[in-house]
C-alpha cells in the first residue's frame, strides 16, 4: 500500500542543506566578476567555502580562472549559438554556459559529464525550465568543438584575450616584446616555492620533496624552487611548519635587493599578504624589528597567519601609507620596502579577471597614488638608508617614469643601481612575465644621502 509522505518528514528534509552544485557555483562566480565587478579574490573563496574536498575546490578554481583567461573567445562562440541574449534573471545561465564551454574546450572532463552536470545546475540556480536550453546549446557546441577550436578571430581583444586599451599600452611600451607578454599572460602560471633558508638549505628542501614524490627544480641563486606539476601545497613536507612558502620567482627578489643587515629596523609598506615580510625575516633573522603596514585590517590578518605558520615576529599596523604620521612612532628605518599598489599588469596570468575589471583611466590614478605614498614614506628612511620600490606592473607610468620623476623632485634621493643598464634616464629593473619563469615585476633601489 502506498503511504502518503509524512509532513514532518517533508519539513525535516526541507531544512537539510542541499548538496552544492559545482557548475552552479562556477556560474555565480563568473557573473559576479563580469557583471558585478567583483574580483576573483572576493567571489571565489565564498564559493569554495562550501566544499570540504580539495579536488572540488581545485576544479571550481580551474573553471572560473579558465573562463577569465579565455573570456572574449568563449563569449563570442557562445553568443553565436544563442538566438537571443540571456539577460535579466537568465543572465546566470550565460555564466553556466561559459563554464560548460570552457570545460569542453580546455579540460579533460568528459563531455557527457560537462553536459549532465550543467543541466543539473539549473535546479540549483532555480531555473529548471532552462534545462532543455542548456542541454541543447552544450551538445551542439560539443558536436562543433573542432570548428570552435580552429576558428580564427580577427578582432584583437578576442584574438589576444586582452582588452584593447591594455594591448595598446603593451605595444607602445614593448614594440618588440608585446606578443611574448600577451602569450605569457594567457598561460597557466607556474607554481613557485620559497625555501626558508633559516631552517634548511634549498638542496635539503628539494631532497625532501623528492622523497615525497614531488618533482622540483632549483632556479636562480636564491631560494626559489619550481614545481613541475602544481599540487596541494599544504601537503608538501614542511609547508605547514614554515619550511616552504608559495612565492613567485620575481617577487622573491625583494629580500635580496633590500640587503638588510643585522640590527636593521625594517619597514614593509603595503605588506599584505606578507610573503615579502616573511622572506626578509628569513633572509636576515637578525633584523632588530620588522614593521609591516597595510591599509586593510582583513589583509593584515593574512600577514599574521603567514608569520604564525613560519614562526616569525613582526609589528603590524593598519594604516594609510600616504599618511604615515597616523601610525608611525617617529623612529626612522634603515630599510624600507614599498610594494606599491599598482595595475597588477605583470601578474595577469595569476589574476586573469583583472584584465576585465581594470580600466585605462585607472593607470593615471594609480600612478598618482604611488607618487603620494613614495613622497610620504621617504621621510621615514634614515640618512644612508635604502628604499626598494616595487610593483607587479609592466607599465612604465607606474615604474621607471615614476622613479625618474621622484629622483628629479627629491634632492637627497639617489639611485642605487641594480644592474649595469640601471641609469637615471631609465631607472630600475623591469622584469617581464615569462611562460616558464617569473611574473612581471619592477624594482628600483634608492638610497638617501647622509645629512
Q: Which residues are annotated as a binding site for S-adenosyl-L-methionine?
A: 270-276, 294, 320, 339
Encode 216-232: b = buried (16+ Cβ within 10 Å), e = exposed. beebeebbbbbbeeebe
DSSP 438: P
- 392 part of the active site: yes
**DSSP-based three-state secondary structure for 83:** coil
Cα four-point dihedral sign 247, 251, 255, 256: positive
What angle, rounded to 10 degrees, do the helices at 131-143 and 91-106 form? Answer: 30
Determine the Cα–Cα distance for residues 186 and 204; give it in Å rounded to an integer.
34
Strand pairing report for 265-269 and 333-339: parallel
CA atoms within 13 A on the CB side of 95: 27
Helix (H) or strand (E) holding 348: none
Determine the Cα–Cα distance for residues 210 and 395; give it in Å rounded to an integer.
39
Q: How many residues does the chain have?
A: 451
Beta carbons of 61 and 74 less than 8 angstroms apart:
no
Beta carbons of 437 and 217 less than 8 angstroms apart:
no
Beta carbons of 428 and 403 less than 8 angstroms apart:
yes
Determine the Cα–Cα distance for residues 16 and 14; give it in Å rounded to an integer.
6
Residues tagged in the binding site annotation: 270-276, 294, 320, 339
Grid coordinates given for 268 = 614593509
Determine the Cα–Cα distance for residues 32 and 41; give it in Å rounded to an integer.
11
For the beta carbon of residue 263, count every other beta carbon within 10 angstroms: 11
Beta carbons of 229 and 276 less than 8 angstroms apart:
no
Task: Catalytic residue, from 64, 122, 342, 392: name it.
Answer: 392
**DSSP-based three-state secondary structure for 104:** helix
* Catalytic positions: 392
Amino acid at each position: 500500500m502506498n503511504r502518503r509522505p509524512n509532513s514532518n518528514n517533508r519539513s525535516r528534509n526541507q531544512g537539510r542543506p542541499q548538496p552544492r552544485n559545482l557548475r552552479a557555483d562556477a556560474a555565480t562566480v563568473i557573473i559576479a566578476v563580469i557583471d558585478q565587478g567583483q574580483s576573483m579574490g572576493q567571489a571565489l573563496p565564498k564559493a569554495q567555502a562550501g566544499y570540504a574536498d580539495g579536488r572540488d575546490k581545485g576544479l571550481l578554481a580551474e573553471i572560473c580562472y579558465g573562463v577569465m583567461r579565455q573570456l572574449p573567445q568563449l563569449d563570442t562562440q557562445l553568443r553565436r549559438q544563442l538566438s537571443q541574449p540571456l539577460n535579466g534573471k537568465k543572465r546566470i545561465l550565460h555564466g553556466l554556459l561559459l563554464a560548460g564551454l570552457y570545460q569542453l574546450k580546455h579540460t579533460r572532463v568528459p563531455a557527457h559529464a560537462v553536459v549532465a552536470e550543467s543541466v543539473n545546475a539549473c535546479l540549483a540556480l532555480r531555473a529548471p525550465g532552462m534545462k532543455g536550453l542548456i542541454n541543447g546549446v552544450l551538445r551542439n557546441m560539443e558536436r562543433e568543438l573542432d570548428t570552435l577550436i580552429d576558428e580564427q578571430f580577427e578582432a584583437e581583444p578576442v584574438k589576444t584575450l586582452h582588452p584593447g586599451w591594455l594591448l595598446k599600452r603593451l605595444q607602445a611600451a614593448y614594440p618588440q616584446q608585446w606578443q611574448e607578454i600577451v602569450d605569457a599572460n594567457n598561460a597557466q602560471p607556474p607554481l613557485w616555492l620559497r625555501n626558508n633558508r633559516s631552517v634548511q638549505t634549498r638542496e635539503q628542501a628539494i631532497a625532501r620533496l623528492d622523497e615525497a614524490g614531488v618533482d622540483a627544480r632549483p632556479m636562480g641563486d636564491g631560494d626559489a624552487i619550481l614545481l613541475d606539476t602544481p599540487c596541494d601545497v599544504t601537503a608538501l613536507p614542511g609547508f605547514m611548519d614554515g619550511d616552504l612558502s608559495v612565492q613567485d620567482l620575481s617577487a622573491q627578489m625583494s629580500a635580496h635587493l633590500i640587503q638588510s643587515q643585522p640590527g636593521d629596523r625594517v619597514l614593509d609598506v603595503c605588506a599584505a599578504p606578507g610573503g615579502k615580510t616573511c622572506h626578509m625575516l628569513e633572509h636576515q633573522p637578525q633584523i632588530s624589528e620588522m614593521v609591516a603596514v597595510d591599509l586593510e585590517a582583513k589583509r593584515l590578518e593574512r600577514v599574521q597567519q603567514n608569520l604564525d605558520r613560519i614562526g616569525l615576529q613582526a609589528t603590524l599596523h593598519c594604516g594609510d601609507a600616504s599618511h604615515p604620521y597616523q601610525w608611525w612612532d617617529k623612529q626612522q628605518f634603515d630599510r624600507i620596502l614599498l610594494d606599491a599598489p599598482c595595475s597588477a599588469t605583470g601578474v595577469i596570468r595569476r589574476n586573469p579577471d583583472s584584465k576585465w575589471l581594470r580600466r585605462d583611466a585607472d593607470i593615471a590614478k594609480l600612478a598618482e597614488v604611488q607618487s603620494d605614498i613614495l613622497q610620504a614614506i621617504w621621510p621615514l628612511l634614515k640618512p644612508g638608508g635604502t628604499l626598494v620600490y616595487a610593483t607587479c606592473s609592466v607599465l612604465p607610468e607606474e615604474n621607471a617614469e615614476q622613479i625618474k620623476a621622484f629622483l628629479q623632485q627629491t634632492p637627497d634621493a639617489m639611485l642605487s643601481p641594480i644592474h649595469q643598464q640601471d641609469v637615471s634616464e631609465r631607472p630600475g629593473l623591469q622584469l617581464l612575465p615569462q611562460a616558464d619563469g617569473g611574473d612581471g615585476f619592477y624594482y628600483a633601489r634608492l638610497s638617501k644621502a647622509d645629512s
